[in-house]
Amino acid sequence: MFDVLREFETDILRCLRCAECHAGCPVYQDDINESYAARGKLRLMRAVMDGEIELTEGVMERINRCLNCNACMARCPAGLDTDMLIIRARCEMRDAGIPVPENLAAVRANIAEHRNPFGLPFSERGGWAPPEALERRSDLVYFAGCAVSYSQNRMAKAALRLLDGADVEYAALGPDERCCGDPVRRMGLEREAEQLVAENREALRARGAKTVFTSCAGCTKTLKSTLGDEFEVLHVTELLVRMANEGRIAFEKAFPKKVVYVDGCDLGRHAGVYEAPRDLLARLPEVEMLEMPDNRDKAICCGGPFVAAYPELAKKFALARIETALSIGAEVIAVACPTCLINLKEGAKSLEGDRRIDIQEVATLLQRSAKPVKK
């Protein structure tokens, strides 16, 4: 078992066992159990690979209980890509016929049948978009992502209104859009993910896309790495910065609040986008920008990737991030990822009184203050 990891044996051996990975890992920090740290997981994968132990339920649980947030890699002196190794291990588990964890089975089935994790119909996928955008071809195509399409469509509306206001023409994939493949790829279902990538590639070609922009951080990560060879892939904040720098969008309404931008792992560590959301927020008149103690590549995951698999942990991790934001005096948490938005809002539900905090998505916040500059 885990023979696939042989290819990476030298990488696994490079683990210095220094424990730096402990620091940024919410799963390890949760009950301070070494077997859930990246160092422990690497040791377990090596043990299975060498036949030292069997692939027990316990080992599988540890392979499954990883946020794929890449905080370990950001802190790893040897630069080990534990995230990739974990996904490879999951692939091999799937190849060996081990089913995906029970609480992810519905997500997988929904993606297979409906091309989104929620099992909702294609037809509902672009209801929020201007009808002409759903029809037209354009160099610039909007890829909303499943979470934005079906549950957080305020994010899409805000982003597109900002573009509309600046007279920027774009197409929206709407019902032609498919899940980007990230959820199934993280389950170790590489072929299913590739199929979705191929379908999205075709849909984007059919619209004449040259540049694809998306409101979703997970999609940004996946589209940059899988379709970046053919299309320019931008997170919506990257596109908005470009527009703002060109003078096509400006912000006039004051936002006199203490705002902390909380880096999402997919957008930050995975896609390398740290500055665009900060740059935009800082343009809001009278805003006071704060930083989390651990930010950018050292940011700590909000727990969003566990929403389906380990909802209680997801909530707990979210609450911990909110507590940190409160401790630095933030009044507003700004995020640029629908999963962070959903999960942090869920985590904040238990807060009362002056410990309540406003959680906003960047484009939504900006749109309220924006003054479009038409060409």
Partner 1 sequence: MMDSSLIDQLAEIVGQKNVLRAPEELLTYGYDATRDEGRPDCVVFPTTTEHVSAVMRLASEHTIPVCARGAASGLSGGSVPITGGISLAMTRMNHILEINTDDLFARVEPGVVVATLIDEVAKHGLLYPPDPSSMRTCTMGGAVAENAGGLRGLKYGVTKDYVIGLTAVAADGRVFHTGGVTMKNVSGYDMTKLLVGSEGTLAVITEITVKLIPAPEARRSLMAIFGDIRDAGRTVSEVIRSGLIPATLEIMDRITINAVEDAKGIGLPREADALLLFESDGDPAVVEKEAARIEEICRANGASEIRVAADDEERESIYTARRASLPSLARVKPTCILEDATVPRSKVLEMLNAVNEIAERHGLVIGTFGHAGDGNLHPTIICDERDAEEMERVERAIDEIFEAALRLGGTLSGEHGIGLAKRRYMERQFGPEGMAMMSRVKAALDPKNILNPGKIFEVTPCLTS
Q: How far is the CB of 58 from partner 1 (least distance, A)?
A: 4
User: Which residue's CB is nearer to partner 1, number 32 or number 97?
Assistant: 32
**Of 19 and 168, CB closest to partner 1:** 19
Q: Which of 6, 34, 205, 329 binds partner 1 (CB under 8 A)?
A: 34
Q: Considering the rule CB under 8 A, would residue 329 count as an interface residue with partner 1?
A: no
Residue from 5, 27, 49, 59 touching partner 1 (CB under 8 A): that is: 59
208 in contact with partner 1 (CB under 8 A): no
Nearest by Cα to 131 from 95, 100, 175 = 175
Residues in 64-103 that interact with partner 1 by CB under 8 A: 75, 77-79
Least distance in angstroms from the C-beta of 86 to partner 1: 15
- Tokens at residue 21, please? 């990975």
Neighbours of 371 (CB within 10 A): 10
**Token pair for 56:** 């027990």
- Which of residues 78 and 254 has its CB atom nearest to partner 1 in the complex? 78
| CA separation for the pair 279, 277 (Å, rounded) | 5
Q: Looking at 1, 4, 19, 289, which residue binds partner 1 (CB under 8 A)? A: 19
Tell the residue number behind the tokens 């859930």, with chain if given. Answer: 36
Residue 18 interacting with partner 1 (CB under 8 A)? yes
Closest CA to 203 of 228, 174, 182: 174
Would you state the structure tokens that stand for residue 10, as one six-digit string? 């030298």
Identified binder of partner 1 from the candidate list 7, 26, 27, 33, rule CB under 8 A: 33
Residue 288 engages partner 1 in binding (rule: CB under 8 A)? no
Nearest of 209, 211, 218, 215 to residue 233 by alpha carbon: 211
What is the torsional sign of CA 16, 21, 22, 23? positive
Nearer to partner 1, 47 or 250 (CB): 47
CB of 94 to partner 1, least distance (A): 20
* 365: phi then psi, degrees, rounded to nearest 5: -65, -45
Binding residues for partner 1 restricted to 295-324, rule: CB under 8 A: none
Contact 165, 135 (CB under 8 A): no
Of positions 13, 105, 109, 206, contacts partner 1 by CB under 8 A = 13
The residue among 227 and 325 lying less far from partner 1, judged by its C-beta, is: 325
Chain-centre distance for alpha carbon 260: 18
Give, in order, the Cα–Cα distances in Å from 149 to each of 115, 154, 216, 317.
12, 9, 10, 25
Binding site for partner 1 (CB under 8 A): 10, 13-14, 16-20, 22-23, 31-35, 37, 39-40, 43-44, 47, 52-53, 56, 58-59, 62, 75, 77-79, 293
